[in-house]
Structure 1
């Protein structure tokens, strides 16, 4: 094998591993996992210099679509061979969006990092100057564009300005008469979601979760009442925790409901007037992620423990007054998925597609029935889906962006049980002058 061309060695190793893993999973699912040994990947580290040289060559100007496709067939995409490079080059992609024209927006870097926002249109990658964070309303009409000066809401991507919103100062909703200090810098959003009216924006950050309006911000978490209770119980104001960990939000498709949470508490769902509709006990230790289904009549609520997790599903009709404890067996909050710690997810008709901490995209029905799984590698950090539900984009903490044509066939190098084809993979790596297309 060592006498073969590096490209041929790579191709054979990737295809053999994918075939072996897919067979291993098929056996495990049909016969059980006892006495099964997980296949190992052939040593390909010595092939990485040749792979990188070929990757950089195919990204030179003037490369045709046919040449790019030939490259993918010769050097099939894979995660395992690149693991030796990830410590040096890998970096998280905190957000991706698919625009209606097929181009992508991506934020390279995690929310707490300065990062960079890119637009990827075909093979052209353009940094967006003056935009540090972005978001889109659930009806795909309004966009929020943020930098240190504040947030602009536009009607459509590149559309007319609708409103400008200031950042919260951090004192909103805090009990009066205590020596709390304002934030010394704007929050770093982990989510920025305009409401369907285009006049408000839902902000999640480690400094708190707020609804932003032109005249100011409304605090959702941590709740002012909970802070006041701490103070009344004798906690020194300097010791009151105003920061959040694992903060997350989701907005229903019609913008009337907000699911939210953070690691120190239960799942919350708020109504149209920001009133508390439901408090739902998680099915694992720490609330971590929320997602509404496409119809808007069910919400998925995930909680995690280390790299594992569990998700319950609650029908919107059952939300008013619902109050359950941790690990509740209430029939109104059934377990839909067990095992996945979720950082990202999307919904299409009758199906949730989520990304877990082990590098898998997992799809299941609104009743919890497993549909398929698709391997990308590393923790899945961000996802979006096209309006027609046919194209999925998923990003990872390893710095990959994968564009996937759903329900279009599975190539031989793909690990998974789904019938999907990755059509392009971008490597947004530290040490690269620009993202490289694979």
Structure 2
């Protein structure tokens, strides 16, 4: 190891990352084997003074097209790590709320939070191009149809750059609301998720103004449910005090399009059938429902609820959903808790395994029966995720404005924090001060 008094910034960065990785991986290994009592978490090395040199080296790397070998060599010299970037993330990070791994290995990503101006980019290695199809997008669970946010409404295309198969106007926001309710302002609804149904003829629109199903006849509000609003009025809630907006809103559609899981921070997890009838009300394993996802086969559903930065994820068989009614923290054997600790922001499924991204920057994998498989650290809260159909390539985006590509089950490099044998092979950084996104 080079003398720290004479080592170059690159050598100092390399040594700091590897030293901390070894220490934290050993700390986790010891904690999992013997318990955490008495263990002292490793101290983060001081790397603030190295950031300017790291950025200069990264910009030099991106000044001309490079092949995979050049990027791999750079990553050995400047190994990826999260802790050296801490001081820059608040001013540099950008939300990336939608991400898709396409069949040809390229990516689509929405840059910018749903509530702020943003755009969609197509990523092909170092080539990153803004697309014209819309400002926000989502893909159906069968990976075929794409929904696009455009000024007039939501367009559905067959393939991300294919022909249009449907178009729906934006909801007015008054759908399903009591006539006595006066909205202060009827602005355009901003989607936090757009999910086409597998036939491309309907779209689940998730937003803080409500969750809707868009169809040929218009828009149907499914959350908050109109009957809930009517009950609030009947119970004496004044129209001006009626809560319509949502927080932590989320939704998922099963691969066959027959089940729709929706929720927000108040109440139960809800599951609807294809006719938009509520078939299940599942009590969460936490204070606030936060996330839903079906497995690849479409026969199991996981539901996450959070409290601060922690949470719990329960699982339920789709066959058990009709008529299922459970309370908060239920011990019903049909809804076992599969994972404790993660507040889930994004997820993917492969084979019999769920992979979730939590608020602390960890990917956590567990089986459909709750067996812990592995964890893999990226850093910052996750915001979107996708996986290749063969389960070999995972892409994930974080609120730090970073997208990573991970080759699963290919061996863990020495700079990687985690317990799984996975290799991050590429990352794209969409920082606010970068003239263009940088790749490393």
Give the TM-score, by structure 2 length: 0.97
Is the 8 Å Cα contact of residues 134 and 150 (structure 2) preserved in structure 1?
yes
1:261 corresponds to: 263
In 2, the alpha carbon distance for the partners of 1:141 and 1:219 equals 25
2:320 corresponds to: 318
TM-superposed CA distance for 1:70, in Å, is: 1.3
The C-alpha deviation readout for 1:366-416, integer Å capped at 9, x for no partner, is 000000000000111110111211100011111110000011110000000
1:4-403 counterparts in 2 under 5 A?
Answer: 4-129=7-132, 131-175=134-178, 177-181=179-183, 184-403=186-405
In 2, the alpha carbon distance for the partners of 1:389 and 1:182 equals 47
CA RMSD of aligned residues (A): 1.2
Is the 8 Å Cα contact of residues 142 and 154 (structure 1) preserved in structure 2?
yes
In 1, the alpha carbon distance for the partners of 2:375 and 2:357 equals 10
Local SS of the residue matching 1:86: helix
In 1, the alpha carbon distance for the partners of 2:172 and 2:222 equals 14
In 2, the alpha carbon distance for the partners of 1:98 and 1:182 equals 40
Local SS of the residue matching 2:275: coil
Local SS of the residue matching 1:11: helix
TM-superposed CA distance for 1:62, in Å, is: 3.3
In 1, the alpha carbon distance for the partners of 2:157 and 2:107 equals 17
TM-superposed CA distance for 1:123, in Å, is: 1.2
Structure 1 stretches of at least 4 aligned residues deviating more than 4 Å after TM superposition: none
Task: Tell which deviates more after alignment, 89-98 or 241-250.
Answer: 89-98
Unaligned runs of 5+ in 1: none
TM-superposed CA distance for 1:116, in Å, is: 2.1
In 2, the alpha carbon distance for the partners of 1:218 and 1:201 equals 11
TM-superposed CA distance for 1:130, in Å, is: 5.2
In 1, the alpha carbon distance for the partners of 2:350 and 2:259 equals 18
Local SS of the residue matching 1:93: coil
Give the TM-score, by structure 1 length: 0.98
In 1, the alpha carbon distance for the partners of 2:309 and 2:106 equals 32
Local SS of the residue matching 2:103: coil
In 2, the alpha carbon distance for the partners of 1:311 and 1:57 equals 43
TM-superposed CA distance for 1:183, in Å, is: 5.8
In 2, the alpha carbon distance for the partners of 1:2 and 1:103 equals 43
In 2, the alpha carbon distance for the partners of 1:208 and 1:2 equals 58
In 2, the alpha carbon distance for the partners of 1:341 and 1:418 equals 20
In 1, the alpha carbon distance for the partners of 2:318 and 2:137 equals 28
Is the 8 Å Cα contact of residues 173 and 186 (structure 2) preserved in structure 1?
no
Is the 8 Å Cα contact of residues 170 and 183 (structure 1) preserved in structure 2?
no
In 2, the alpha carbon distance for the partners of 1:329 and 1:181 equals 40
Total equivalences in the alignment:
437
Is the 8 Å Cα contact of residues 171 and 182 (structure 1) preserved in structure 2?
no
In 1, the alpha carbon distance for the partners of 2:35 and 2:238 equals 55
The C-alpha deviation readout for 1:343-388, integer Å capped at 9, x for no partner, is 1001111000000000000000000000000000011111011121
TM-superposed CA distance for 1:101, in Å, is: 1.0
Structure 1 residues 179 and 47, CA, compared in 2 at 3 Å: closer, same or farther? closer
Unaligned runs of 5+ in 2: none
Is the 8 Å Cα contact of residues 171 and 180 (structure 1) preserved in structure 2?
no
In 1, the alpha carbon distance for the partners of 2:290 and 2:400 equals 20
